[in-house]
Amino acid sequence: EDQVTQSPEALRLQEGESSSLNCSYTVSGLRGLFWYRQDPGKGPEFLFTLYSAGEEKEKERLKATLTKKESFLHITAPKPEDSATYLCAVLNYGGSQGNLIFGKGTKLSVKP
Amino acid sequence: DARVTQTPRHKVTEMGQEVTMRCQPILGHNTVFWYRQTMMQGLELLAYFRNRAPLDDSGMPKDRFSAEMPDATLATLKIQPSEPRDSAVYFCASGLVKPLQAGEQYFGPGTRLTVT
């Protein structure tokens, strides 16, 4: 069964304290891995898509990387406005086309 | 700035009542998704449409939930009769999905449903 597991469930950082969020996945064939950010009371906001192992993408203080079994979202020198829940999702080759399988997210809190 | 819109944003209703949620996808997107989010289960896919045709609704309780897409600018999710366990945030998302390509999904702001 296809599965996405995110860790930790919650992460508290001081402003400027860099860290990483983990997304491990088990799928029959990975077509893409997606990272989303979700603020309270809002819908998930698309951040990145990664397609193959070794790929990296960056946006401001965020960098996403992908291996054959997991993805990391690295946050460099975070600011309080980076506080949010970060969701990871995968799209597989098997089954129906286009439906994402989501992890339960990592809730990030950055204190000033 | 193209966005997915959803109405209503909040809905409080009594058990047994019918609830209809509406979604306007981003113009040009060919796929529309309905998700439900709870603290316990996270984001769960309920149903989705490609070019207005239903592709998969295996995530929905068939006896009370129905999803339709009467035209390219409107998707609806209906619950009849509603139950307290249906209380959740319901998201609509749309995307441009092409064969053998991963497509990003763009989410609406959600409908927070409370069934008492």
**How far is the C-alpha of A70 from the C-alpha of B92, rounded, in Å?**
27
pLDDT digits (tens, 9 = 90+) for B25-47: 999 999 999 999 999 889 999 99
User: Would you call B25 an interface residue with chain A, using a CB distance cutoff of 8 Å?
Assistant: no
Contacts of B4 in chain A (CB under 8 A): 43
pLDDT classification of A97: cutoffs 50, 70, 90: low
3-state SS class at A50: strand
SS3 state at A77: coil
Q: What residue ranges in B1-116 does DSSP mark as E strands?
A: 5-7, 10-13, 19-24, 31-38, 42-50, 53-56, 65-71, 74-79, 88-95, 106-107, 111-115
Q: For residues A39 and B110, what is the distance between their CA atoms, to the nearest angstrom? A: 12
For residue B31, the chain A residues in CB contact (below 8 A) are 98
Instruction: Determine if the peptide bond prior to B25 is cis (ω within 30°).
Output: no
CA separation for the pair A93, B77 (Å, rounded): 27
Least confident range from A5-19, A44-58, A89-103: namely A89-103
In B57-86, the residues whose Cβ lies within 8 Å of chain A are none
- Tens of pLDDT along B45-104? 999 898 999 888 888 988 999 999 999 999 999 999 999 999 999 999 999 877 666 678
